Amino acid sequence: MSALPFPFPGATTIGIRSPSGVVIASEKRLSYGYFVVSKNVRKVFKVTDRTGAACAGMVADMQVLIRDAIAAVNLYKLEMKREPSVQTIGKILSNHLFGQRYYPYLAETIVGGVDDRGAHVLVLDPLGSLIEDDYAAVGTGAEVAIGVLEADYKADLGKGQLFDLAVKTVRTSVNRDTASGNGIDLMLFTSQGLERDETVGVQA
């Protein structure tokens, strides 16, 4: 996915999967143009016990989008009496985004999680396009991040290796993208649920 056009808020947001699980991550800086608005913004969200979402773009838009998606997911669980699959959560977000296509949310979204069919990483653009891949990067730092992922990703990464690769990828992007920085929020999901929810520094 291409980065949002400047001067929309910058970000480096990624998702990576392997048979061991899924990690989603984003840095914490909110910038607009050349101005750093905040150094402590959370762009990584838990949606269910085994699925989360990470966003790049306008913080207000991503917060409203995730809030509405969580409400829809909770209704799904009440009506269907089962946990939604990662693909179902992706489709809920996709429908919300497409429904706003004339006044779109200025946010790119990565959904990552584990269900009965395995680990999944889904990437959505502001109009609701839904693509599944082994890894994804969005935001102004996506070009740098995807270069690291292309070089270092392996299909059989363990849980610790997934986490370490996510940290390395975002740190590398932060070093090159001035719109990204000030720490990294990460969530690691496995078949057992949310295993790690951590914030790490950006210094090597």
Which residue from 100, 101, 12, 104 is spatially nearest to 56, judged by alpha carbons? 12
Catalytic site residue from 12, 13, 109, 169: 12
The answer to whether 145 touches 137, Cβ cutoff 8 Å, is yes
Residues 6+ apart with CB under 8 A from 129: 94
Residues 6+ apart with CB under 8 A from 197: 46, 186, 187, 188
| Token pair recorded at residue 147 | 């270069």
Neighbours of 116 (CB within 10 A): 9
| Annotation marks residue 178 as catalytic | no
What residue type is 114 in one-letter code? Answer: V
Query: Which residues are marked as active site?
Result: 12
